[in-house]
Amino acid sequence: MSVDATGPDWSQAPDGWDWAAQDEDGRWFWYGVKPLASVGGGVWRAPSRAQQLACAGRPNSQWEGTLHRRPGSGVK
């Protein structure tokens, strides 16, 4: 599945996984916990069991601005 900069389709997210973000290489991931931007740059980090590939997208040099919470899941 490919997607634009708006992010993946939330209807495809695992239940309870309320975060999504895009890495610099374009890949989007679902997160079961709020991820943090990597100190080295280019990727978001969370424990491996709380991270799952959502879909592919275009490379994005503005990746740090892509973290968002599932609509309706609480305050951003």
pLDDT digits (tens, 9 = 90+) for 29-61: 999 999 999 988 999 999 989 999 999 999 999
Segments making up each domain of the chain, as ranges: 10-64
User: Predicted confidence band at 67 (pLDDT cuts at 50, 70, 90)?
Assistant: very high
CA dihedral (15, 17, 18, 24) positive or negative: negative
pLDDT for residue 6: 72
24 SS3 class: coil
Global pTM value: 0.87
Is a pLDDT exceeding 80 seen at residue 26?
A: yes
DSSP notation for 38-76: -TTSS-EE--GGGEEEEEB----TTGGG--EEPTTSS--
User: Predicted confidence band at 74 (pLDDT cuts at 50, 70, 90)?
Assistant: confident
Nearest to 75 by CA among 36, 23, 19: 19
Is a pLDDT exceeding 60 seen at residue 24?
A: yes
